[in-house]
Structures are given as structure tokens and as C-alpha cells.
């Protein structure tokens, strides 16, 4: 079997495992192939691994994950998360490399734990998880995953927590077990996820060469630059950009070369609790 055919089968397997569904259109768009080739590839996958998928007809039809599913390929969990988060595909090409390998700061995520959370997210369902929290320790709860994001060197999923009756952010790496759950009806949406947050940044006024950081921000004839994000990830963005969020700009300007200029406007944003220096008065 040629390389391209294997890649197509692997994509089908990944979509079923992590997203719970696959259809002909995904293959056509992903590989720029014809509908006949896509249909033939799907038939081949089902013939090889009939216990992995079932055909469901209808408007949003296609092949869907079966409880008897067993991965036919070894999948890169980070690639699957990146695809669901951004729609982008991460590929490793055989070319000359001029940089060092990216170091792994956190443990490798277990696909067996990540996949059911992602399937529940796509299907707008719920899962029962055993989770270790930094504040309350280990417990079990039913959550409804709705979004994912990457920040501070780790992957998170945003989910409605039935125990606390609110949306919270959970780290994939702190999830110990995952099982399917019907869950209860959840009220409304995630207001914090849908709330826009504008981060106004400027070079740190105590840095001896603020103009070089103005260049980094693409600033020419303006005093600040604005970054638009949402309330959930605002604190993570400021951490990754090394922004001094203290009241008086008291952090080391060499370590934190940028300052947050609209701090007062973000006081109601929960994720600001992790922003550098935000708690300092």
C-alpha cells in the first residue's frame, strides 16, 4: 500500500478515535482528492476494521465511533488536539533542520484519556472524570467539555462542572480516568469563554531600551497595541508574553519587558489571577 493510502486510513482512524465521526467530505478537503477516492478509502477502512465504525445516514451522516473501537494506528495526541483547537494540521517533513528539537516540559498526554473528552466535546455530551485539582485534591465529577485551549505549556479543556454548577478550566494532564456519562441538562453557555478581553500592551517604561520592544509589537506611531482574546485565556496570554501586570510596574523589566496598560478594565476576569504580578499592589 502506498504512503498516501496509509495516510488516508490513518486520518479516518484518528477522526473516529478523537472526534467520534468521519465523512467523505473531510477526506476530500484534507487530501484534495475526488469523492470516488474518498468513498473507496472509507470502504477499505471499514473492511479492514469493521468493529471501529458504524454508518449512520442523514443530514449529518457518515461513519461514527463504535464502543468496540480499537485504534488501528498510533496517534500523536498533540496533533489531534491542535487540529480540534485551530483546524490546522501539524506535519513533520523530511527536510534539513536548523533548530533544536522542541523540549517536552510536561508529560505526554494519554490518548485513551484525551479521546473520550474530545468525542464528548464534539457530540456536546458529558463524561465522568477523576481529576486532581491544585486546590481541592483528587475527586470525581461529571463535566460537559465544550472548548480546548493551549496556554502556559499545557493543554486545557473548558467544561461545565455539575458539582460546582459553573464552567471551569481543566488540565488534560491532571485527568486520571474518563468514562462516558449522560450527565444532566446544563443551563446557558460559558459566559467567560464568550466574553471578549482586550489586552493593551506597551514596552515597559523602566526598560532602558523600550524602543526595541515597540519594534517587537509592531508599534510605530502609537503608544500601545491591543490584543483581542477571550476572558478564559487572557491570563495565559499575558504569562506567555511575559507582561508585567502589577499596579506600579514593579517586576523586573528585563524578565518582563512589556506592561499591561488597562489593568483596571480586567479586574472581573478570573484568569487574571495567574497573570505575572497581577496580585501585587
Fold of 3-74: Arc Repressor Mutant, subunit A (1.10.10)
Strands 21-22 and 53-56: unpaired
> What are the residues whose beta carbons fall under 8 Å from the beta carbon of 193, sequence distance 6 or more?
146, 147, 158, 167, 230, 231, 232
165 pLDDT higher than 80: yes
Strand partners, 63: 22, 55
The 10s digit of each residue's pLDDT in 34-81 is 999 999 999 999 999 999 999 988 766 799 999 999 999 999 999 899
Q: Where are the domains of the chain?
A: 3-74, 111-190, 195-274
Task: Using DSSP, state whether 1 is helix, strand or coil.
Answer: coil
Helices and strands (H, E) in the chain, number of each type: 8, 12
The C-alpha atoms of residue 224 and residue 226 are separated, in whole angstroms, by: 7
The 10s digit of each residue's pLDDT in 4-16 is 899 999 999 999 9
Q: What CATH number does the domain located at 111-190 have?
A: 2.30.30
Q: What is the pTM of this model?
A: 0.88
The 10s digit of each residue's pLDDT in 20-29 is 999 999 999 9
Amino acid at each position: 500500500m502506498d504512503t498516501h493510502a496509509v495516510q488516508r486510513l490513518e486520518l479516518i482512524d484518528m477522526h473516529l478515535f478523537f472526534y467520534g465521526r468521519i465523512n467523505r467530505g473531510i477526506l476530500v478537503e484534507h487530501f484534495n482528492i475526488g469523492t470516488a477516492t474518498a468513498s473507496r478509502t472509507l470502504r477499505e477502512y471499514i473492511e479492514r476494521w469493521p468493529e471501529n465504525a458504524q454508518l449512520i445516514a442523514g443530514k449529518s451522516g457518515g461513519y461514527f465511533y463504535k464502543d468496540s473501537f480499537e485504534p488501528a494506528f498510533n496517534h500523536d495526541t498533540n496533533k489531534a488536539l491542535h487540529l480540534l483547537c485551530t483546524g490546522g494540521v501539524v506535519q513533520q517533513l523530511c527536510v534539513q533542520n536548523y533548530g533544536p528539537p522542541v523540549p517536552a516540559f510536561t508529560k505526554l498526554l494519554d490518548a485513551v484519556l484525551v479521546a473520550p473528552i474530545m468525542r464528548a466535546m464534539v457530540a456536546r455530551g458529558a463524561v465522568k472524570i477523576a481529576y486532581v485539582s491544585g486546590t481541592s485534591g483528587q475527586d470525581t465529577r461529571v463535566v460537559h467539555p465544550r472548548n480546548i485551549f493551549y496556554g502556559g505549556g499545557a493543554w486545557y479543556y473548558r467544561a461545565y462542572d455539575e458539582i460546582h454548577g459553573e464552567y471551569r478550566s481543566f488540565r488534560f494532564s491532571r485527568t486520571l480516568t474518563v468514562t462516558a456519562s449522560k450527565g444532566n441538562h446544563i443551563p446557558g453557555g460559558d459566559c467567560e469563554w464568550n466574553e471578549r478581553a482586550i489586552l493593551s500592551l506597551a514596552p515597559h517604561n523602566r526598560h532602558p531600551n523600550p524602543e526595541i520592544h515597540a519594534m517587537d509589537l509592531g508599534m510605530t506611531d502609537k503608544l500601545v497595541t491591543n490584543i483581542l482574546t477571550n476572558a478564559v485565556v487572557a491570563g495565559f496570554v499575558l504569562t506567555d508574553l511575559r507582561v508585567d501586570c502589577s499596579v506600579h510596574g514593579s517586576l523586573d523589566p528585563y524578565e518582563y519587558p512589556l506592561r499591561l496598560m488597562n489593568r483596571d478594565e480586567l479586574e472581573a476576569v478570573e484568569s487574571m489571577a495567574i497573570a505575572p504580578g497581577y496580585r501585587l499592589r
